[in-house]
Amino acid sequence: MDIIYKPIIFCLCLLLGHTVLSQQAEYALMPMPQELISQEGKFRIDTTFQVAVQGNPDERIYANATRLIRSISERTGIFLHAQGFVKPEDKDANAPVLITVSRPGKVVLHEDESYQLTIDENQVKIEAPTDLGAIHGMATLLQLLQADTAGYYFPALQINDNPRFAWRGLMLDVARHFLPMDVIKRNLDGMSATKLNVLHLHLSDNQGFRVESKVYPKLHELGSDGQYFTQQQIGDIIAYADALGIRVVPEFDLPGHATAMLVAYPELGSQDQAYEIERYWGIFDPVLDPTNDYTYQFLDSLLGEMASLFPDDYFHIGGDENTGKHWDQNPEIQAYMKANNIKDNHELQTVFNERLLPIIQKHGKKMMGWDEILQPGVPKDIVIQSWRGKESLYEAAKQGYQGVLSNGYYIDLVQPTNEHYLNDPIPADANLTEEQEALILGGEATMWSEHVTPETVDSRIWPRTAAIAERYWSPQSVNDVEDMYERLDKISLYLETVGLMHLRNKGMLMRRLANGYDTEALEVLVDVIEPLKIYQRNAGGTMYTSFSPYTKIADVATPDQKVAREFRDDVDHYLQKSTEEEAEAIRTKLSLWEANHHQLLPTIRKSPVLKEIEDLSYHLSQLGAVGLEAMDIIAYQATVPEEWPERAKKVVELAKQQGGRTEIMVVSAVEKLVTQAIQEEGRNNTNTKY
Ligand code: ACM
């Protein structure tokens, strides 16, 4: 059946492929499935909506089916007759939604996650070898909910789906800023909605050790400011993730990034000193002493305890960014190196990793680490997580190592979605054989938490991570940026219904900043600014610490602003085609911005925290004014004073300045209008002169 069926689907897709691709945005799906065949008809949702499960699934299917029913009821407002709950004995083959699962899935790497979803006018069918696949099928179904004047429906179609990559991760750094249970759980829900399947928790760093240890309790007592997960909570996270088919991979960063551990147990350090929890951001010198046997005894007990908390096969030991300075400064370590013919700190870290490896293995785990751990001779079942560049990933694959790509997926850098989206784990120029390609397990978006708190972290992760999730799941050929953005804007709204706070918290953050309910003018500004990108927000590394306020304009501002992005697109289209519709949209925005400074000033006056945006707000209004003048020149050949070009260019230059660690994201578009206007104006003047 399978063998005959798949080629038919494949041939149909070849025939329909063009139609399917051009219709992507019509389905607000993210990730897009491997194969989608649209059909005529609609499955209407009414009060009889119910789900039945047949076959041999894990019991987690029932909770997920209940969530499906609840979500449909909540989003449609329909009072369902069946009151929602799916009973294990309800195997009604005629149920509106029929889920068929062959066997319980295991939440492990390379588990079968495939599913088929068939929707016709009478029934929705999800068929999958494991319940993990069926859960993905339900996630797809939930994204397919649509409405017309007659009500809510799912469009008739056939989807045949499975992931391109087996490792589709999100890393949350809970060490630098602690992210408590509710943040973890709602982000797991977001991951499930976008078919991500690995939650990587970065649990220790210079600023905190975030898990209760019963063996070495001073770790959480002295190394966490009281902000850590109890062992019970770790169990809860794992159970919550498992119910969604998501693995949890723990990371304890060693031997560097270890100040918080050394606060508790300074005897592990490479300097004879007391340590304090690090409050600044950056790379620091405290490091474990790799020449001391006690270090390994300690790690054996600690990692044994931690390994028993986390059931996943993989255990991440960090391994990144060791400055080596404390090793250089310690005469005993230097003597050890000389006696053992260890020529540099790199080799010394290899010695450390070599002694750590059997400890990890003894506790039943496979070792994972940042790309620094790739050293000659490390065993082939380790996983390299590549952050410094893709080359190390491909080099590792050529040597037979498995890898996960994170370079290019640093979502903390607040870059536009398209840059992450087009960053393929296996680009054409990787030059890998098929066997080597199979060693690239996938990727992980990394949410480093220097500049986020529980209030703001969702807006740094979502919705951009949905596009990254598509990169990990969907065929490589799904890479149309315009189409991605069209779907992303819809998915962003959907993710809010899943419980994420990326949109919701904006209102709260703005009201606090405005010191009142009226945030209308503030929002006009917020909608066109973004936090400074890459590492510019904290230039010099001394502006922010753990306890800085992350409640300011740069924290309300979010990456890849929709309003600004659409304005830039409108300007580009207008300058190519001069359509009246786009001209109108551009003018509306420019007028709004021109008038906004006057509207916003009273709020700035009564809310001193907003003083830092006064210039920014003024620059936006000036941009609005010269933008309108530029439009008049372009559209109506309006005459302007001789000094206009210089004045307009000056306004544009001033608007490029940062304010409150944010930047205005429509400057480049207004600059294009000004440039065009100056050209046209030059022509007009030439005409009048001659
Ligand atoms: C890293 O960003 N240091 C892994």
- In the chain, the number of structural domains is 2
Token representation of residue 504: 């919701």
Closest ligand 1 atom to Cα of 257: 3
- The pLDDT-based confidence of 67 (bands split at 50, 70, 90) is very high
- Cβ 388 under 6 angstroms from ligand 1: no
Is 293 a member of any domain?
A: no
End-of-domain residue from the set 161, 186, 206: 161
Model pLDDT for residues 382-415, shown as the tens digit of each residue: 999 999 999 999 999 999 999 999 999 999 999 9
Is 352 a member of any domain?
A: no
* pLDDT at residue 354, rounded to an integer: 94
End-of-domain residue from the set 111, 131, 161: 161
Is 70 a member of any domain?
A: yes
* pLDDT at residue 685, rounded to an integer: 66
Is 351 a member of any domain?
A: no
Domain holding 556, by residue range, is 515-683
* pLDDT at residue 21, rounded to an integer: 45
Q: Which residue's alpha carbon is at the smallest distance from atom 3 of ligand 1?
A: 320
Helix (H, G, I), strand (E, B) or coil at 50: coil
Token representation of residue 179: 């992210």
C-alpha 347 to ligand 1 mean position (Å): 20
Burial class of residue 377, CB neighbours in 10 A (0-12, 13-18, 19+): exposed
Indicate which residue of 221, 305, 321, 614 is catalytic: 321
Is the separation of the CB atoms in 191 and 168 below 8 Å? no
CA distance 12 to 8: 6
Is 196 a member of any domain?
A: no
C-alpha 55 to ligand 1 mean position (Å): 44
- Cβ 614 under 6 angstroms from ligand 1: no
pLDDT score of 14 more than 50 = no
Closest CA to 465 of 428, 500, 505: 500
C-alpha 3 to ligand 1 mean position (Å): 44
The CATH number of residue 87's host domain is: 3.30.379.10
Strands 51-55 and 35-44: unpaired
| Mean pLDDT calculated for residue range 443-462 | 98
Is 671 a member of any domain?
A: yes
C-alpha 276 to ligand 1 mean position (Å): 22
- Cβ 320 under 6 angstroms from ligand 1: yes
Token representation of residue 133: 């696949």
Candidate from 205, 320, 371, 444 with most ligand 1 atoms within 8 A of CB, to mutate: 320
- Is 111 one of the catalytic residues? no
Which residues face 199 on adjacent strands?
170, 248
Q: Which amino acid does the sequence have at 85?
A: F
End-of-domain residue from the set 104, 131, 161: 161
Token representation of residue 31: 């990730």
Is 594 a member of any domain?
A: yes
Token representation of residue 35: 């194969």
Closest ligand 1 atom to Cα of 370: 4
Is the separation of the CB atoms in 200 and 169 below 8 Å? yes
Would you list the DSSP string of 397-440?
A: HHTT-EEEE-TT-BGGG---HHHHHT--SS-GGG---HHHHTTE
Tell me the pTM: 0.95
Is 326 a member of any domain?
A: no
Is the separation of the CB atoms in 425 and 443 below 8 Å? yes
Closest ligand 1 atom to Cα of 410: 2
| Cis previous bond, 31, omega within 30 | yes
| Higher pLDDT among residues 192 and 9, named by residue | 192
- Cβ 321 under 6 angstroms from ligand 1: yes
C-alpha 662 to ligand 1 mean position (Å): 24
pLDDT score of 252 more than 70 = yes
C-alpha 675 to ligand 1 mean position (Å): 41
Closest ligand 1 atom to Cα of 385: 4
